[in-house]
């Protein structure tokens, strides 16, 4: 009898928490989506008063580890494929430099005076950077391998480095930067995937919204592509 009562209490508590969570949607998303997704979240909240959209932006690898450890995410958007995900967006890496930089081509990274960085090879922006560099005759090495795309961008914008391999969308979002494309656009590209991890009213609604024509059009205006 005590076991039945305890089970009933657990179910009641879960139902109560689930009801509360239904007006709050937690999104785990690749750090390269920070600016775009914050704006989409604001638009959604304005259209649905009382609903709160919260985000966790990290490298896709870090987010996947957190999810596997039980982190409470309703929706996961990764900059690399994962089991259960479906194709969502396409982005690509470029060599980003300040507008006034004398760097004109990828091979200029071989200049001993040029300090450049990229993402760590273990995260999507790093593995794509490695693939894009093949065939570019770059023999120099980055002075740092950053844990996520946003930290690479931050160091470039702070003037700590001369150049950085970042996503094209990051350059488009910053007027003080200029993009130098890699020769192999396919190697430089990565496919983002998305999955809904929990089912409730607002998670369903937000999932539909970020895959809607209007949201995709907005993301395309920020430099993302779709298949």
Which tens digits make up the pLDDT trace of 174-202?
999 999 999 999 999 999 999 999 999 99
184 and 207 together in one domain: no
Calculate mean pLDDT across residues 80-103.
Answer: 97
pLDDT in tens, 136-159: 999 999 999 999 999 999 999 999
Percent of all residues in the chain with a pLDDT value above 70, rounded to a whole number:
90
29 and 79 together in one domain: yes
- The count of domains in the chain is 2
Please give the structure tokens belonging to residue 134: 């093949």
Give residue 22's pLDDT: 55
Helix (H, G, I), strand (E, B) or coil at 16: helix
**Whether the predicted pLDDT of 63 surpasses 50:** yes
Burial class of residue 22, CB neighbours in 10 A (0-12, 13-18, 19+):
middle
208 and 185 together in one domain: no
CATH number of the domain at 23, please.
3.40.190.10
155 and 80 together in one domain: no
**Whether the predicted pLDDT of 38 surpasses 60:** yes
Give residue 170's pLDDT: 95
Give residue 56's pLDDT: 97
Domain residues for 161?
Answer: 91-189
Query: In whole angstroms, what is the distance from residue 43 CA to residue 97 CA?
Result: 32
Percent of all residues in the chain with a pLDDT value above 90, rounded to a whole number:
89
Distances (CA, A) of 207 to 22, 85, 227: 13, 13, 18
Q: Is residue 77 part of a domain?
A: yes
144 and 176 together in one domain: yes
28 and 83 together in one domain: yes
Residue 97 pLDDT grade (very low, low, confident, very high; cuts 50, 70, 90):
very high
Residue 141 Ramachandran class (φ > 0 left, ψ -120 to 50 alpha, else beta):
beta
Q: Is residue 227 part of a domain?
A: no
Give residue 9's pLDDT: 28
Distances (CA, A) of 28 to 32, 56, 73: 12, 5, 6
84 and 195 together in one domain: yes
DSSP letter at 225 equals B
- 14 and 22 Cβ atoms separated by less than 8 Å: no
200 and 139 together in one domain: no
Give residue 17's pLDDT: 44
Q: Does pTM surpass 0.75?
A: yes
Query: In whole angstroms, what is the distance from residue 87 CA to residue 83 CA?
Result: 11
């Amino acid at each position: 009898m005590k076991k039945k009562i305890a089970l009933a209490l657990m179910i009641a508590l879960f139902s109560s928490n689930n009801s509360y969570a239904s007006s709050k949607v937690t999104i785990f998303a690749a750090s390269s989506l920070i600016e775009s997704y914050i704006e989409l979240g604001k638009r959604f909240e304005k259209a649905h008063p009382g609903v709160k959209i919260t985000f966790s932006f990290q490298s896709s690898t870090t987010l996947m580890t957190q999810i596997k450890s039980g982190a409470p995410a309703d929706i996961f958007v990764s900059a690399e494929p994962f089991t259960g995900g479906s194709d969502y967006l396409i982005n690509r890496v470029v060599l980003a430099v300040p507008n006034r930089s004398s760097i004109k081509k990828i091979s200029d990274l071989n200049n001993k005076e040029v300090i450049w960085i990229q993402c760590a090879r273990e995260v999507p922006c790093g593995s794509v950077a490695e693939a894009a560099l093949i065939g570019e005759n770059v023999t120099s090495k980055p002075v740092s391998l950053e844990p996520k795309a946003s930290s690479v961008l931050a160091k470039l914008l702070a003037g700590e480095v001369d150049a950085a391999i970042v996503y094209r969308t990051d350059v488009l979002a910053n007027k003080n930067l200029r993009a130098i494309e890699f020769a192999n656009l396919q190697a430089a590209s990565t496919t983002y995937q998305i999955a809904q991890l929990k089912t409730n009213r607002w998670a369903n609604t937000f999932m539909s919204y970020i895959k809607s024509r209007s949201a995709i059009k907005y993301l395309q205006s920020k430099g993302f592509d779709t298949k």
